[in-house]
Amino acid sequence: MLELARQTFGIQIGQTLFRLIQLNTRITDLFMNTQKRARSFEPNANNTISLPTGQTAHRDHAEHSALLVRNFYQVRPGVWCLVGNGLSNQTFIEAPNGIIAIDTGESNEEMCAAILELRKHTQSPIVAVLYTHFHYVSGTQAVLDEDSSREIEIWGHEKIAYNRIRATSEIAPAYGRGLVEQFAISLPQDGPDGIVNVGLGNFYRNPQFATQTNGFIAPKKTFNSQCTIEVAGLSIEVTPAPSDADDSVTYWFESLGCAVNNLVWPVLFNIFAIRGEEYRDPRIMLTGLDHLLSLNAEHLVGAHGKPISGATEIVNRVTKYRDAIQFLLDQTVRLTNRGYTSVELAHEIRLPDFYDEDNLTSEFYGVAEHHVRQIRSGLLGWFDGDPANLFPLPRKEHSDRMIAGFGGREIVRKKANDAINQDDLRWACELSSWLVNSSEAETADKLLLSNTLRLIAQRTTAANIRNWCLARARDLDGTLDMTRFNRHRISRKQILSAPATQSVHILRVMLLPERALDIDTHLGFDFTNHQSIGLHIRNCVAVPTDGNGADVSINCAHEVWADILSGDLKISVAVASKEVKINGDTNMALAALQVFDVENLQS
């Protein structure tokens, strides 16, 4: 009880803090005639503030946190939504046969906290879990643990399990690095670089929970098209509605007048994610939003942000939200047809100022100038018609030549510092990037770019931009070392919990071409109690196979292979100790394995 009281008191303090920020902002607007909000980031520090806990940030970015505070909303009788427990919401709907939980957060601990809130309102058992998409589904085990004797139905799109694996296997280093940068995972809790919010929530993972355990359970009841399902005695219309994931769906509870979705966010929708993600086609988004509007819902509950109630309120706000997306799409197409390059689109297309009146259409997450560039690339590919982009020089050589052309490093440094002093941060960022990426980069150059990125972070309303810039600034000044996110770091637990094929076939994206020039070897892998797996190394690629007809095979327990890949056991040691047996030419097998960028495969 004491801990609960402490947390409640902390929440109240947070709410009071942001009310003070809002009041201060209104007073500033009234009496100091503060200029209107800029796009992407401000041209000066006029709208930069310091919070009581030391964070330096744009006032509107700080004020946005007030919309994300923890609260257990009763949307209508029998419908509840917990906001502010993590990056996503957890929603509960009372059905004739029990409670339906929708999305389970980032961990079992997060979901346990949500269930505790639910139990203040009802003791009805949770009998089913629905997933809106493959994000925020890692607390499902907590539902089962509440009453292990109860059978729980788990529903979701058929691609959820696949998408979970995709994000944690071949592209894992880039995906993980992007998460760290975009979601402020490496930032401190306070001080100038401290986290303020992450746009969709106040944090990626709730710092209240000391440990965060993964409780994802794949859905056993799946769908891939529009359908009507009955769950816990309640009829639910399911409509695929891709947004930031191609497995997103909208759940329509017609009898309750309530739609649960992953389309409407508490910010301008992120067509481009700075962390890196597959293309989010706004044309498909608009179809999903038009369907959502056609439902004439009385209540709209999202994967993020506060619920919206009132049919008129929903229509007005969601219409403006979808129209902002169409504006970016249509204007990108219009100007692309006129021959504008990607950079020109970014500078020419600006959302009209009236979109700033609602957080749903404000740059509190990403920025429009990045979205339009992504749209152009998604429609037509990376080349934007600028001849300079057709065959660019390598980055280091380009930087060296630009520095030499400007008269040397000292001149470029001076120009970069002058640009900072004149609030010309775009130019300062480019100049200091040349210095950092050049062949003679020095610590002073990194600090110059770090300073520039911090200033951008302090002047943007967009959480993604602030968090990304600060993560890179801290890496540049030595506060944070991001190099560990540049390589696959496959844990033993991860290998053993996934299909054995994954731990072999993932090697294809770790092949070093220069080591594979003369290799044509079909490797088979026979792990105890697992099906045969193979990789045919040829023509500087590793082709996944089922292992049939392999030239040479590697036999061991899956646990031994996990020890080799996770960094605890060298292949040569495993062969010598007979933990690994090679059927066929041992030298051929070891030579083939050495083509992969895995330290323990270098015998």
| Per-residue model confidence as pLDDT tens digits over 220-236 | 999 999 999 999 999 99
Q: What is the pTM (predicted TM-score) of this model?
A: 0.92
Handedness of CA 283, 288, 290, 293 (dihedral sign): negative
Hey, where are the domains in the chain? 392-464, 492-601
- Single out the residue of 286, 303, 283, 292 nearest to residue 237, CA to CA: 292
- Structure confidence at residue 30 (pLDDT): 33
| Per-residue model confidence as pLDDT tens digits over 441-457 | 999 999 999 999 999 99
| CA triple 37-456-415, angle to 5 deg | 120
- Sequence-distant (≥ 6) Cβ neighbours of residue 466 within 8 angstroms: 57, 58, 61, 196, 457, 458, 460
Per-residue pLDDT band at 214 (split at 50, 70, 90) = very high
**Of 26-30, 51-55, 169-173, 506-510, which gets the smallest average pLDDT?**
26-30
Please check whether residue 341 is in contact with residue 384, taking contact to mean a CB–CB distance below 8 angstroms: yes
Longest dimension (CA), the chain: 83
Residue 19, pLDDT above cutoff 70: no
**pLDDT higher for 602 or 399?**
399
- Structure confidence at residue 460 (pLDDT): 98
- Structure confidence at residue 171 (pLDDT): 87
**pLDDT higher for 311 or 31?**
311
Dihedral, CA atoms, 590, 592, 597, 601, nearest 10 degrees? -10
- Structure confidence at residue 33 (pLDDT): 37
SS3 state of residue 444 = helix
- Single out the residue of 572, 567, 555 nearest to residue 494, CA to CA: 567
- Structure confidence at residue 337 (pLDDT): 98
User: What is the distance between the alpha carbons of residues 565 and 559, in angstroms, rounded to a whole number?
Assistant: 10
User: What is the distance between the alpha carbons of residues 292 and 297, in angstroms, rounded to a whole number?
Assistant: 8
| Per-residue model confidence as pLDDT tens digits over 346-403 | 999 999 999 999 999 999 999 999 999 999 999 999 999 999 999 999 999 999 999 9
| Per-residue model confidence as pLDDT tens digits over 454-479 | 999 999 999 999 999 999 999 999 99
Mean pLDDT across 63-81: 97
Pairing mode, if any, of strands 221-223 and 153-157?
A: parallel
Residue 562, pLDDT above cutoff 90: yes
Q: What is the 3-state secondary structure (H, E, C) of 234-293?
A: EEEEEEECCCCCCCCEEEEEHHHCEEEECCCCCCCCCCCCCCCCCCCCHHHHHHHHHHHH
Please tell me the class of the 492-601 domain: alpha beta
- Structure confidence at residue 35 (pLDDT): 58
